[in-house]
Structures are given as C-alpha cells and as structure tokens.
Chain A
Amino acid sequence: MPGHDDGHWLPIALIPLATADTVPRAQNPLARPILPMDELPAHMRPERSFQGFILALQRFWAEQGCVILQPYDMEMGAGTFHPATTLRALGPKPWRAAYVQPSRRPKDGRYGKNPNRMQHYYQYQVIMKPSPPNLQELYLKSLAAIGLDSSLHDIRFVEDDWESPTLGAWGLGWECWCDGMEVSQFTYFQQVAGVECAPVAGELTYGMERLACYLQGVDHVMDLNFNGREGVDKVTYGDVFLQAEQEYSLHNFEHSDSEMLFKQFVMAEEACKKYLAAGWKSGSNQKEHLMALPAYDQCIKASHVFNLLDARGVISVTERQSYIGRVRDLAKACGEAWVHTEAGRAS
C-alpha cells in the first residue's frame, strides 16, 4: 500500500475503535495501570511542565482509541494539513488519530516578543471519523485530564466556523474558551479538499502553548517550564525556542529568498500535478490512484512556500487570491485521488 511502507501508518484494521473501558485492562498483561494525576512525579504533571502536558493529552486520547501518531515530517501551517487529517478525513473508513504537530505561521513571527503568538508553535490535533456522539464530553474530559476543573473554570463553546481556503475545506464548530481564553478549536468537518465528508469527522485542535501558559499560570510563553524541573535543571520554553523565534522572524520577514521561493512554489505545483497524473492506474476497470500521498506532500510544500512569500510581503492583494486558488486546486486534486486509493475508498 502506498504511504504505508515507512511504518508511519497503521493498517486501518488495527485501529482500536473500542475505548479503554470496553477492553478490561487486566486481560492485557502488558498494560500498566494508569497513574492518577497525583501519583505522577511532580515534574510530569500537566500543570508543571510543557512535556508533561503533552504526555497527558497523548495518554488521554490513546485511551479513547486514537492512534497516537508523530508529527508529519514537513513544514505546515496547522495540524489539519497532516495527511492523517486532511486525507484521512475523506472516504467512508473509520479513523481515529491524535498527534502533536509543529505549526509554522511565518507571518505570526514576533521575534519572540509576543506573549502568545509565534511563527512556530505546537498544535495538538485529534481527529475522529465518524464524529462520536459524545465528542464534546470527550473534549471536556480531556480538559479535566490536564487539570482543568469544570466546577472552578468557565468553559464555553463560542461559535467559530472554520474554513481553510487553501485546503478547500470548511466545517462548523466553536472556539473553546476557558475563563475567556481561546484554548482550542472544535470543528465538525463538512468538506475537505473539495470533497464532502461522508461520514463527518470531528477535529479538535489545542493551542498547546496558550493552554500551557494557562495551566502553569505564566504570562509569557517563553517563561513556560518545559521539563518541569526547578533550579539549575529547569528548562524553559524560551531556552528551547526563543533563539529560533528570533532567527526565523528575521528570516521570514527580511531575508527569505523570494526568488527561490517563487521557483519552489512552481516546482511543487508542477510536481504535484505530475505525480497526480502518473498515479492513475491504467488498465483496471476500477478507477484507482497509486500516488495520492506523494502528490499531497507537494501540495503541503506549495502551501508553506506561499505562506513564506506572503510573510515576506512580496505577494500583492490580487495575486494572493490566485495563489490561494492554485494551492486549493492542488488540494482538491489530491482529495480526488485519495478517495480512489485503498485507504480513501469504501472497499
């Protein structure tokens, strides 16, 4: 199966859709008991360390039957671009996955000065297809699992319809607020890559740094405790990322090589089209595509290159729309190919 040979993808049949509650832990001798939060070492508690917070979410969603993936190995603007969301949201086959995705938003760079806006940050992404009837409850439980007590905090679902013009995607849902802070995005996908979602997938996106600031009671993201240690052993978010934010802001706004990027955009665009054209399997009576994933990589690439050019301010207002349209055309063509692959079609 294309795209599966690197072991990154679990064969679809192995995805456990049952929740932990339905599979008694005792039956599995390898299962270690889930530690209640108090028993976690202090430095691993979600409200003490950034990494502990990530691990708490990983564990929670693993318990809900999600495959816990690793970040996709390409630069992208949001976890939604990961093929585990964009492409897996399409087609009739069930799918549940969760992962951290480093998200690159070149325009959001602030040289490390903004308390909660960065050109590189982490999204925690959950996708469940079909959307389970209790998705809201699961989300609220996940907040409880990271230490947000709903009898103490004001949690709200505030209308925010999601649309990605570059992905040809839209959905309805909310921003989730905790005491007035937007901590997640909650979306029921209706259309992705120009294809109607059938069934609909539910997507949750947690803004990790903002949520962590909240949990740790810290005002500036760079002050986050990353490893949960104190004193000389303490590593902050700033220790890890401040220099990167400064360097990339400088790069994104002032020095990125526009000429090269314009070329890269065209190259990615052409490659994507080439792979798509080459991927259609000839000779079989069923319409079938064999290279949707490699083609989609080039779409991701084009999208990121566009974001870099946009941040550099070298794309005029009118051109902007046409670039977005070009990426969308690629995304749509990839979606069309995907629903004719093994994982994307009915059987």
Chain B
Amino acid sequence: MPDLLLELFSEEIPARMQAKAADDLRRMVTDRLVAEGLVYEGAKAFVTPRRLALTVHGIPARQSDLKTERKGPKIGAPDAAVQGFLKATGLDEATIQRDPKGDFYVALIEKPGRPTLDVLADILPVIVRTFPWPKSMRWGERSAKSGALTWVRPLHSIIATFGPETEEPEIVKFSIDGIEAGQTTFGHRFLAPSAISVRRFEDYEAKLKAAKVVLDPQARKDIILADAKQLAFAQGFELVEDQVLLDEVSGLVEWPVVLMGSFDQEFLSIPGEVIRATIRNNQKCFVVSDPKDSDKNPDKTGKLTNKFILTANIEATDGGKAIIAGNERVIRARLSDAKFFYESDLKTKLEDRLPKFENIVFHEKLGTQGERIKRIERLAAEIAPLVGADVEKTKRAAHLAKADLLTEVVGEFPELQGLMGKYYALAQGEDASVAAASEEHYKPQGPADRVPTDRVSVAVALADKMDTLVGFWAIDEKPTGSKDPYALRRAALGVIRLIAENTIRLPILKAAQSAILGLPEKGAKYPAADAQKLPGDLLSFFADRLKVQLRDQGARHDLVDAVFALGGQDDLLMVVRRVEALGKFLDTDDGKNLLAGTKRASNILSIEEKKDKRSFDGAPDPTLYKLDEEKALAKAIDQVKSEAGAAVAKEDFAAAMSAMAKLRPAVDAFFDKVKVNDDEPNVRENRLKLLNEIRAATRAVADFSKIEG
C-alpha cells in the first residue's frame, strides 16, 4: 500500500517547540486520514531546526465505496412525495427499489470512494493552516493581506508525495499562500545548501543524510551524548549529563559536531553551580567534571573541571579551531561577569541588602517583600520550639533566607536562589544551619524533591509555606481547577511532607491563626482572613492534598476523610499515623468485619432515626438487656472504649486498632442473635442506643461511615 511523505521546510523553528510540533503533525494527519476512512499501518514524525517531516505508510490508495440505504415514502404514497424523494436522493424511478416486504420505497445510494491523493490534497492544506504553534507569525509581501498564512517562522517549501514503494510516487497537488507542494527540499544551510529532489521517505532520509542533515532528533541526541561522553572520557574526565540541555541542543543543529573547549583555571573559584548555570543557560554548553569514582567523591558527581563541551552545527574547514576559540572567548567573558558578580556579592553582607526589600512588592495586596520576611521571621520563631529548632538560629535564618534574591548572581540566574544565599551566608561566617536554611527552606519543591531535616531549615520552610498559604487564602487567591499560579498546592504538600517525614507535631489551625495575626493590620483588612473560618478552610485544603498524595502513592485516600471527619484533627502527623494504622487494620479480617458490622449498625440507626425523628444518644440502660449477646456487646464496648481511648491518648494507633479488633466477635454475635426492633419499645430503644455505642466506640479511631466498601 502507498506511503505519504510530507515535509514543511521553514526558517529556524524554536528548539523548545519542536518535539510537540512533530507530535501534533503526526496526530493531525493520521486523525484526518482515519476520519476519512483511510486506515494506515504506521506513522512517524521528525523534526530538525528547519523542517517538520512526516511519513505515513500503508495508506489505501483510495477510500472504499460507501453504500447507504435510505427509506422513502410508502408504496402508493402520493406522487408528489415520491417525486420529492427522488429529487432528494438524486435517483430516478429505475434505480429506486422496494424494501423486502414491499411496503416502502428504498433508495440505494452509492458514494464512490475518492482517491487518497485527492483526499490528501484537501486535508493537508487545512492542517498547515490550522497548525497549533504556540506562537505564529506573518511575513513577506503576502502578510499585507488578511487571511495570510501564518507559521512559526517563514515557511519556504513543502514536500508532499504519495505512492507505492515500487512506483514513482505522485505529488499531492495543493498550494498554500503561493507555496506549491512538490518534491524539493534543501540540505544543510551551510554544508550542502542546494536543492534536493526526493521521492519517498527512504530516499528523503538518505539524501538528507548525504546533505548533512540528521533528520531524527533522537539520532542527533544519541550522537551528541555519545560524542560528548567520548570527548570527556578521552581526557580522563566525565560529562555532566543534562537531559534538558541535550533536548534543547539537539533542536539547534541539523548536523551535530561535538567539540571541547576550556577556560581559565582561576574561574574554578566560583561555585560550581554558578559555572554550570553560566555555561549552560547562556551558552548551551555542557560542563565536565572529574570522574565520579575518584577517591574524594565516591558517589557524588565529581568537581567541575575547566572544560566545556559545545555542539556546533558545521564541520568546519579548520576542524573547529575557530569555533572553539570563539566559544572560549564568550565563555571567558561570561565567567568573568559571573566571577565579578559573585565577588561583588560577597562584599555586601546579606543583612545589608534587606532594606531594599521594603520597596519591592511581594503581592499588591500582601505588601512588600520586606514585610513578608518579617512575617516569616516571626512565624518561624513561633514554630521553632515545636519542631525542636534553636529559636535564635531560626530567627537569624529566616532573617537572611531571602536576602540573596537581591544579589547579582541570583538576578542573573534565578534558579540559583537559596543556593547562593547559602554560599554568601557561609562566607560571612554564619552558623552552618543558618546558612543551609537559605537553600533548604524552599524545599521540598515537588513530590520528588528532598525534604530538609535540619530543624532550623524545617522551621523556616514551614513558616515560609504557611505564610504563603494563609496570605493567599486571605486575599482569596486559592487555586482553581488547573490554575495555581502561586504554587499553593505545592506549598501545602510541602508542609505535609515536612511534618510527616520529620515526625513533627504542628497544630495547623493554631499555626494558621498565628499567621493571620502576622498579616498587615493583623489580617483585619482582609474579609477572608476570618480567624474562625480561614484555618478550617485551609485544613480541608491540606486534607485534599493528603488524599491526592496518598492516591498518587496507590494508598487508600478515603481513609483521610474518615479521620478528618472526627473533627479537630489539625495535627497532620497524627492524621497520617491514624490513616496508616487504619489502612493496616482494614486489611485484616477483623478490620473488614468490624467495618461491615459498624456500617450495618449505622444503617439501621439512620433508618430508625429517620422513622422516629429522633436520635438514640445516651447510655443504654443495663437493666433492659434481655440477651447475653447484648450484655457481651455492652461489655466489649466498654472495654474497647477505654483500651482504644488509652491507646489513642498514647498516640499508639496500632494498639488502638488491636483494641478495636476485640469488638468484632461481640458485634458479629449481636447481629447474629439479636433482633434490634424488638416489640417492646423500650427494649428497642435500648438496643438502638447500644448500636449507637458501637458507632461511638469506633469513633475513637475514625468515622467508619466515611470509609468506602
């Protein structure tokens, strides 16, 4: 079956858009083909800086004919109706048929399938015109007219051929804004710029390769990675691998040529992260390190060396000497800038930068960065004793944690925020914990990020995140749907992980109330900053985050509701512990049966409560027990209540669950032998009260009615 080859040849496509564009092209073309009834065997898209290409193989040469039947008027219907039907179906008397029973006229309409070549000529221009580039543009003379073609950068030519492997393929005939589809493309911009005529994918790919274009982005990545590793290895070093950079670099070249350059040793006095950011962000080059398995650094990435690896787009006639020299010069200038920035940053103490924050708005409604830093300081000092952090160190850490935002290096490389603060704090002789907090208080940045353990960092991290959450809650900027511009979900998950992984006891409601008091005018200026309502809302946001996290880990998230439904649960560590213990308990037979029994009790109760329009609170009257099972259950409940209560008081949730397990035989026996709705009303009432006691007893650990299953 025939294949399609499509190439859209343009000026340089931004690297970051290439992968998605290839994917979109494949999806759009194949979706249209299928919608046209043309089922294909396979499709693959490719992209280089200057071309977007697609091969679809095994497409039928034409659509199959479509036969449809259309029911017409009754036999013997008035002539006008028959004539109308004939007109509507475009048939004449001779081709009209009757249905098998002979009651109706039936029209058999045959829609002959069109040649795929024609279908393609219709669908391809539409796809080009509606292609979803993140940003597209107009160009040239035609841009003066409305409806001019837009593309990511000027589009120069289109290849569209279609045909079976053994024959000369045909050109899919269409033209868009003056660009006629054909079979001509161009090789590498500098190494082989002339026109190339191609027929199908195989010779397209091969001819491009001969014209110094590696079509497949993955192949370019493989070449770059292998050559870069080899170059570094040959000199006894190791490439610092960087997938994001590799993706980008492979989108900047059609013919990757990997070269190695070096810079002055003296720059190695700058922190490695700064060197890497300089070389990577500005120059899109890789850095190189001492081998990982050197004695000094058994498991970590080795120290950077004064080398870098660049990827050129040409095989230069001098073997790349000029290119290396040029890149070395730019990198030298960049590194001397970075060194200058770093060294001049070191001249100003972090605290001396703080006054400037008074003029920097954090958020229009939440005041300046300066005010925010003071809030975090205050909150961190309150949290410090709760997490076992030294209060003075915590205050100092919170005071300095954001100061590096105003340094030159961070201005240049925002991704180094925190890290630079640590370097500068150490350089001015701060305590190691205080310095570390600059970097660590931003953590964890996501589910995969490390959680800090140093108590000073933990206190500042919690204060930073709680202030953010409470602040944005106060101004009613909560996340909605997919929108979370202030990363509040990440902040809440951060709080949960900080607490759970460091076994920290932090009453969230109190912390939130305290954070409200830190807001401008003690929160009074914000209607939403109600000390009664906001902390509770925030707590249910935490509950949601916890559920999402558990679901992501494949754990039961309904148990979170069961625990929060108890009310007053603002100690996240205890919530997590309870949920864990409950999950384990419910995996046992005792747990499952107790859950079933409790649910049964609840169901009966709610039916009877509705019937009698009353609740059955209050202690049952022991004198009304008629059966042994009642007495046994009452006894079991008393015992479990006190045992489980004592265990919960000791925060030993596993023990509380084992105590619960003792309830199960009594509950089972009760339901087995006892008829709840006894004829004597007071016996019935007493039994319902006993059921209520089951519910009450289990509430020592969770609200079982909220558990699924």
Contacts and interface: CB of A to CB of B under 8 A. Distances in A.
Given A115-B336, A133-B154, A151-B317, A180 B326 contact: yes
Interface of A: 92, 114-116, 130-133, 136, 150-159, 161, 171-174, 178-181, 188, 190, 197-200, 202, 214, 219, 316-318
Contact of A317 (B153, B310, B314, B361): B361
Interface of B: 11-12, 14-16, 49, 135-145, 152-154, 156, 190, 252, 283-285, 310, 312-314, 316-318, 322-323, 325-327, 329-333, 336-337, 359-361, 364
The 9 closest A-B pairs by CB, nearest first: A179-B326, A159-B14, A199-B144, A157-B12, A180-B327, A200-B143, A154-B312, A172-B137, A181-B330
Contact of B283 (A150, A173, A180): A180
Contacts of B252: 156, 158
Contact of B16 (A115, A136, A159, A198): A159
Contact of B314 (A154, A172, A180, A214): A154
A200 B140 contact: yes
A344 to B, nearest CB: 14
B333 A115 contact: yes
A132 B11 contact: no
Given A130-B141, A181-B326, A317 B359 contact: yes
Contacts of A159: 12, 14-16
B370 to A, nearest CB: 12
Contacts of A317: 359-361
Nearest to B251: A159
Contact of B317 (A152, A157, A172, A199): A152
A155 B191 CA distance: 12
Nearest to A180: B327
A130 B143 contact: yes
A154 B323 contact: yes
Contact of A180 (B49, B190, B331, B361): B331
A4 B314 CA distance: 47
Contacts of A116: 333
Contacts of B326: 153-154, 178-181, 214
A130 B323 CA distance: 34
B332 A161 contact: no
Contact of A200 (B15, B139, B361): B139
B139 A153 contact: no
Nearest to B327: A180
Nearest to B261: A180
Contact of B323 (A174, A179, A214, A219): A179
Which has the most chain B C-beta neighbours within 10 Å: A116, A132, A153?
A153
A151 B283 CA distance: 21
A132 B359 contact: no
Nearest to A133: B140
Contacts of A161: 135
Kindly name the residue among B139, B190, B318, B359 whose own CB sees the greatest number of chain A CB atoms within 10 A: B139
A219 B333 contact: yes
11 contacts: A133-B154, A151-B317, A155-B313, A158-B12, A172-B137, A172-B153, A174-B12, A181-B330, A198-B143, A199-B143, A219-B333
B138 A190 contact: yes
Contacts of A316: 359, 361
B409 to A, nearest CB: 16
A152 B323 CA distance: 7
Nearest to B368: A317
Given A180-B330, A199-B140, A219-B329, A318 B313 contact: no
B709 to A, nearest CB: 53
Nearest to A220: B333
Most buried by B among A151, A155, A172, A318: A172
Given A115-B333, A153-B316, A172 B360 contact: no
Nearest to A92: B144
Contact of B364 (A155, A173, A318): A318
A151 B314 contact: yes
A90 B628 CA distance: 97
A14 B359 CA distance: 54
A289 B586 CA distance: 82
Contacts of B322: 152-153, 179
B554 to A, nearest CB: 40
Nearest to A152: B322
A198 B140 contact: no
A73 to B, nearest CB: 31
A301 to B, nearest CB: 27
Given A188-B138, A219-B332, 10 more contacts: A132-B140, A151-B190, A151-B317, A154-B312, A158-B284, A180-B331, A181-B330, A188-B137, A197-B143, A199-B143
Contacts of A157: 11-12, 49
A136 B316 contact: no
A12 to B, nearest CB: 16
Given A179-B330, A316-B359, A188 B154 contact: yes
A197 B144 CA distance: 8
B138 A200 contact: yes
A174 B15 CA distance: 11
Contacts of A92: 144
A131 B153 CA distance: 12
B11 A136 contact: yes
Contacts of A153: 316, 322-323, 326
Contacts of B360: 317
B341 to A, nearest CB: 11
Nearest to A190: B137
A233 B25 CA distance: 61
A199 B144 CA distance: 4
A223 B246 CA distance: 36
Nearest to A178: B326
A180 to B, nearest CB: 4
A83 to B, nearest CB: 21
Contacts of B284: 158, 180
B12 A152 contact: no
Contacts of A150: 190, 314
Contacts of B316: 151-154
Nearest to B356: A313
Nearest to A153: B322
A203 to B, nearest CB: 12
Contacts of A318: 361, 364
B342 to A, nearest CB: 15
A90 to B, nearest CB: 12
Residue of A155, A157, A180, A181 with highest tally of chain B CB at under 10 A: A180
A172 B310 CA distance: 26
Contacts of B12: 157-159, 174
Contacts of A114: 337
A85 B139 CA distance: 16
Contacts of B337: 114
B219 to A, nearest CB: 20
A316 B370 CA distance: 14
Most buried by A among B14, B142, B359: B14
Nearest to A198: B144
B158 to A, nearest CB: 15
A156 B138 contact: no
Nearest to A173: B153
A172 B153 CA distance: 8
Nearest to B144: A199
A113 to B, nearest CB: 9
Nearest to A151: B317
B214 to A, nearest CB: 16
B224 to A, nearest CB: 14
Contacts of B11: 136, 157
Contacts of B336: 115
A132 B139 CA distance: 8
Contacts of A172: 135-137, 152-153
B84 to A, nearest CB: 51
B218 to A, nearest CB: 21
Contacts of B361: 316-318
A132 B16 CA distance: 26
A190 B150 CA distance: 11
